[in-house]
Amino acid sequence: MAEDNVVIVLKEQLTNEMIEAGAQLTGKLDEMGLPLVAALWLFSPEINEWRLVFATPEVSTAGPRTVYAKIRQARQALGQQNAAIPLFGIDLLDPNDELIRALRSAMQTGGGISRLRFSKNVAKGHYIEDALIYRVA
């Protein structure tokens, strides 16, 4: 006799603590002079996880290690306010990455820190399951 099993995977939640910590970290990186073209929380359904994504030209010019060092320094300056964001939960992209270019074609937030939800949408052929966008400039 064959049995059918149904597995339901619950989507990991983006908490208010994560949202505020991401906004504070984005602001601190701005204060430190890191040029952020994009800053957003992006849900990755493949791993059922939210990732904080920063796009900066310094990824190509100075290298990811240098950018991660700046992020580490900003996190230390913020202290406990950033406990919701482990360093391994942060991804870096070049501003010319396809995803960033697609988001830029779909919206522009300007240079400030917004909190725009972008869910179940397509931008230039890229399906975005869920995102919380601080900046796409």
| 96 residue type, one letter | N
From CA 15, how far away is CA 22, in angstroms rounded?
Answer: 11
Residue 4 has pLDDT above 80, yes or no: no
pLDDT in tens, 10-68: 678 999 999 999 999 999 999 999 999 999 999 999 999 999 999 999 999 999 999 99
Listed residue (106, 91, 78, 104) closest to 17, CA to CA: 78
Residue ranges covered by each domain of the chain? 16-136
Q: What is the pLDDT of residue 86?
A: 85
DSSP single-letter state for residue 11: P
From CA 101, how far away is CA 45, in angstroms rounded?
Answer: 21
Q: What is the pLDDT of residue 84?
A: 83
Element (H, E) at 31: helix 16-31
pLDDT in tens, 71-105: 999 999 998 878 888 888 999 999 999 999 999 99
From CA 18, how far away is CA 83, in angstroms rounded?
Answer: 9
Q: What is the pLDDT of residue 83?
A: 80
From CA 134, how far away is CA 46, in angstroms rounded?
Answer: 23
pTM of the model: 0.89
